[in-house]
Chain A
Amino acid sequence: MNHDAYDDNYIREILNGVKSIAMVGASPVNVRPSYFAFKYLAQRGYDMIPVNPGHVGKSLLGKPFVASLADIGRPVDMIDIFRNSSHILPVVDEALKLSPPPKVIWMQLGARDDAAAAKAEAAGLKVVMNRCPKIEYGRLSSEISWMGVNSRTLSSKRAPIPTQGMRLSLNRTSVGGGETAASDRAAKNKSELT
């Protein structure tokens, strides 16, 4: 897997395939990127589980926080890690101990740990690094086009009128442009996540 430039089909398959997502490092503060992504993915129909030991006893948009992956107590398809690159490996180790293990490890925009990725891939998991699932879902469905963002997709099909909580089709034709190489480089050097 080329972690510098993912094929859209790779991301599409992941987002079409997973149903439940545990978000490690989810924040209840409504200006944090994790809150944005959690809320959006919940609205698009994913079964979201907030993981953050600092907020156990509270809930995020109606979903109770759990302290760790082991505390989820049911199978989960994808682990979305909102932690600094230096905190990724222990989360991946914990994920690999789950039974059944998750299908996907996703590291947020700005987060990248190639060694942890290799470990997860060796165990048969798919890995995405330095991307945001909200941005990728918005891009592949072209919902993000409302913001003038280059979705790098085309379609001549009439889409259904989107309503709240509706899953959107991600099956548009991918096109080039709008490279992410620079932000990947920046993430390799440092990250603003904690």
Chain B
Amino acid sequence: MTDRIPGFSTLAVHAGAQPDPTTGARVTPIYQTTSFVFNDADHAASLFGLQAFGNIYTRITNPTTAVLEERVAALEGGTAALAVASGHAAQVVVLQQLLMPGDEFIAARKLYGGSINQFTHAFKSFGWNVAWADPDDIESFERAVTPHTKAIFIESIANPAGSITDIEAIATVARKAGVPLIVDNTLATPYLIRPIDHGADIVVHSLTKFLGGHGNSLGGIIVDAGTFDWSKDDKYPMLSEPRPEYHGIRIQETFGNFAFAIACRVLGLRDLGPAISPFNAFLILTGIETLSLRMQKHCENAKAVAEFLSGHPAVAEVNYSGLASNKYNNLARKYAPKGAGAVFTFSLKGGYDAGVSLVSNLKLFSHLANVGDTRSLVIHPASTTHSQLDDAAKVRSGAAPDVVRLSIGIEDKEDLIADLEQALSA
């Protein structure tokens, strides 16, 4: 008998979790503890040597966090995952396994502004060099490949403008270059897009956004697709060479198709330290149980709001790929047929000043720097999330000075439209 394969919503509720063996608690308990007792000296040695499965210290593994990791791995169709303190921490831990000082990676220009900063400035001091490419021009990725290229990084749905990236086309470039494709799937979530199905080797998320979904917890996660052969050449010594940290273990040889997730855990998280709190893991896990329902509502509301704004006389342009007139609509139909997400931008005929006054007149939308909350959110990226970019870079990344970004929540859409209507006419 072959087993029935459960659907996405079933996995969102069940994957990774089981009744607690000790108490029978059905909901995953919050294991709010720093450390775990060993059975005996040999058990301790086995755990430290990675020979046994089990817990040592919450910086490395935690039973609450492990449920979150397995659940997201299952939803993304990956072999394993590692949860960390934030989306940014996930990006550092991933690239630390792949790059040595002097190495390069290629990143799409259309990214969350904080990622552009991290790649441009923070990573420079590690000697990791970023080469930018334009996700609307696939050949720009090919042109950026050099012998020092170690990875390609893109967002599936790009923050802030909600544009859709042609993941398969860029995966082909990555395969040809012999490097892994890393996809930040934060704005899509696996409910809308599963990048591994389109050729991604590694998926990262800010769990802070739609996966957690309630605006209450920072978190990040790395999902290993299990698709990349790290030992095919000498480019990835963290995975292919004997590791002095572990007396000569070769990570890929020992852990097979979930080696990348293990490297991130035992070479990255263990030594860099950005562990997620078990309490945050619990809240995010609870959020994920309703992911399907929330994403349906987020997308339905976003489309209605985008349609309303498109017809409004004060609005110059709406960038929502779910609209038939949008230049990314074909990509949205291909990659995100269930909905084009709930983060998008629009510009006002009144320019910068009209944007500022809109934000201050809104009564239901909250003016803050986040996306993917149950609440609807609004921000002016040029003066906030993307403020550290120069004007040309702001325009290139979709955050021109006259642009306002919305993250549409799961309220009643009539109320959101009424709030925008009164704010635009105030």
Residues of A within 8 A of B (CB): 7-9, 30-31, 33, 35-36, 39-40, 43, 109-110, 132, 135, 138, 142-152, 154-162, 164, 173-183, 185-186, 192-193
Contact = CB atoms under 8 A, between A and B. Distances in A.
A173 B3 contact: yes
B6 A154 contact: yes
A182 B46 contact: no
Given A147-B61, A148-B83, A149-B261, A177 B256 contact: no
Closest 10 interchain pairs by CB?
Answer: A148-B69, A150-B73, A174-B3, A183-B257, A182-B227, A158-B19, A186-B229, A177-B77, A149-B80, A178-B79
B3 A135 contact: no
B21 A149 contact: no
Given A148-B265, A175-B74, A182-B257, A192 B53 contact: no
Given A160-B21, A175-B5, A193-B253, 9 more contacts: A31-B49, A31-B249, A149-B261, A154-B14, A158-B21, A159-B19, A175-B11, A177-B78, A178-B78
Contacts of B226: 178-180, 182-183
B253 A33 contact: yes
Residues of B in contact with A, size category: 35 or more
Contacts of A148: 61, 65-66, 69-70, 73, 80-83, 261, 265
Contacts of A178: 73-74, 77-80, 226, 257-258
Interface string B23-62: 0100000000000000100010010011111110000010
Contacts of A154: 6, 10-11, 14-15, 18
Contacts of A33: 253-254
B232 interface: yes
Contacts, number: 166
Nearest to A172: B18
Nearest to B65: A148
B78 A31 contact: no
A147 B21 contact: no
A181 B54 CA distance: 27
B53 A150 contact: no
Contacts of B255: 135
Contacts of B53: 138, 143-144, 146-147
B21 A146 contact: no
Given A154-B15, A182-B228, A149 B258 contact: yes
A8 B423 CA distance: 57
15 contacts: A8-B3, A36-B51, A110-B256, A146-B61, A147-B265, A148-B82, A156-B18, A161-B21, A162-B21, A175-B3, A175-B15, A177-B73, A179-B77, A179-B226, A182-B228
A150 B63 CA distance: 14
B22 interface: yes
A177 B22 CA distance: 29
B265 to A, nearest CB: 7
A174 B61 CA distance: 24
B46 A150 contact: no
B66 A146 contact: yes
A63 B14 CA distance: 41
A180 B113 CA distance: 35
B247 A192 contact: no
Contacts of A175: 3, 5-6, 11, 15, 74
Contacts of A35: 51
A167 B10 CA distance: 28
B246 interface: yes
Task: Tell which of A7, A43, A175 has the most Cβ of chain B within 10 Å.
Answer: A175
A182 B19 contact: no
Contact of A31 (B46, B227, B246, B262): B246
Contact of B66 (A138, A145, A193): A145
